[in-house]
Amino acid sequence: MAKSPEMKLAVFGRAGVGKSALVVRFLTRRFIWEYDPTLESTYRHQATIDDEVVTMEILDTAGQLLKVEDTQQKESHMRWGDGFVIVYDITDRGSFDEVAPLRGLLEEVKKPKNVPLVLVGNKADLDHARQVGTEEGERLAAEMACAFYECSACADEGGMVAEAFHELCRELRRR
C-alpha cells in the first residue's frame, strides 16, 4: 500500500484566540479551559478523510514577546508548513485585524502564492460578545480564496473544528 501522505499544518493567530484549545479539541474531542499560552507544540495525528489515511503534523504556534523574534519565528514556521489555519476570535476585533497581515506574511514567505489556508472564527459560543460579524469573516475568506468556518473549541456540537482541519487536508491533496 502506498505510504499515506504527510501534511504539515501550522495554526496561527493572535494570542488568546484559542489556537491551543482548537488543536486539543481536534485531537482529543475535549476542551481544556486553561492551556499554557507560551507553550508551542507539535502533534502527530492520523485521520481517514474521504477513505484516505492522512498523517498530519500539527504545529500549535505561540508568539514571542520581542517583535523581531516573533516575526523571525513566524517566518520559520511558515516555511515549515504546507497548509495553514489562521484563527481569530469573533469577540476580539483586533484579532480579526491581524488576519490580513498574517496572510500577507505567508504570501511573502511561501512563493508561489495561493498558499493552502483555512480561516477560522473561534469562540462562536460567545455570540453575546461578538465583535466580528459572520459576513465579515465570509468576505475576508472570499478575498483570500479560502474556506471559512465559525467554530467553538468549547461547544463543538457540529464537529466544525475537525471539519476545518479536514478541509485544509483536502485542499492540500488537491494541489
In sequence order, the β-bridge partners of residue 57 are 8, 44
Q: Which of 18, 20, 23, 122 binds Mg ion (CB under 5 A)?
A: 20
Q: Which of 122, 144, 149, 166 binds ligand GDP (CB under 6 A)?
A: 122
Stretch that binds Mg ion, among 20-28, 88-96, 129-137, 143-151 (CB under 5 A): 20-28
When CB distances to ligand GDP are compared, the closest residue is 18
| Rounded least distance, CB 150 to ligand GDP, Å | 10
Does position 91 bind Mg ion by CB under 5 A? no
Binding mask 17-56 toward ligand GDP (x if CB under 6 A, else -) reads xxxxx-----------xxx-x-------------------
Does position 123 bind ligand GDP by CB under 6 A? yes
In sequence order, the β-bridge partners of residue 83 are 9
Strands in 52-60's sheet, in edge-to-edge order, are 41-49, 52-60, 6-12, 83-89, 117-122, 147-150
| Rounded least distance, CB 131 to ligand GDP, Å | 14
For binding to ligand GDP (CB under 6 A), which residues are involved?
13, 15-21, 33-35, 37, 122-123, 125-126, 152-154
